[in-house]
Amino acid sequence: MKLDFHRLKLRPRESEEFYLQTQGDDKLLAGLGGKFISPLEIEIVVENTGTIFSGRGKLKTELQLPCSRCLRDFSFPLEIDFDLALVEESHNGQYSPDEGFIFFRGEEADIRSAVEEAIFMALPLSPLCRADCKGLCPICGQDLNHTACSCEEQDIDPRWEKLKQLDSERR
């Protein structure tokens, strides 16, 4: 994912729009058991401020992720707004990658790492196929969204057993 700054470098205080469409790298989502099911569509406007190329973009794609409760794969649409700060490598003494700057040499800047970071930061910690997902039965493992099981949870934590006895005495 490279942006060509050939024209923009010659025009300080101006901006340029870029449109990219590329397939996402499934390795990014491999640890989550997910994958990209539609290409990344990226619109970005980059302004040449003199030394810094400041970008503001929007990314759209669709992912396949496993539900954290029922483990079924589901489609997860993703729309992200993100910002970029790019600097030519000749200015690396003034700026640091720790400050979020992306350094580039020549006419092209690779924004892949910033896009992947934006995608990863937008992913939910516990992806759910739907908000009311019932998950799996902890005893038999059956998907409770499709069928109810007849398992009864009989293991009682001994610390709560007295409370259950009080409840049964009240009835």
First to last CA, the chain: 67
- What 3-state DSSP class applies to 97? helix
Report the relative pairing of strands 52-66 and 73-88 from DSSP bridges.
antiparallel
**Per-residue pLDDT at 37:** 94
**Per-residue pLDDT at 153:** 65
Q: What's the whole-model pTM score?
A: 0.75
CA angle 39, 43, 49 (to 5 degrees): 145
- What 3-state DSSP class applies to 139? coil
- Longest Cα–Cα distance in the chain: 84
* Of 40, 34, 39, 36, residue with least CA distance to 73: 34
* Of 40, 47, 45, residue with least CA distance to 119: 40
Task: Compute the distance between CA of residue 23 and CA of residue 29 in angstroms, rounded to an integer.
Answer: 13
> pLDDT 10s per residue in the chain (171 long)?
888 888 887 788 888 899 999 998 888 888 888 999 999 999 999 998 888 889 999 999 999 999 999 999 999 999 999 999 888 887 667 776 767 788 888 888 898 988 999 999 999 989 999 999 999 888 888 888 888 888 876 666 777 777 777 767 776
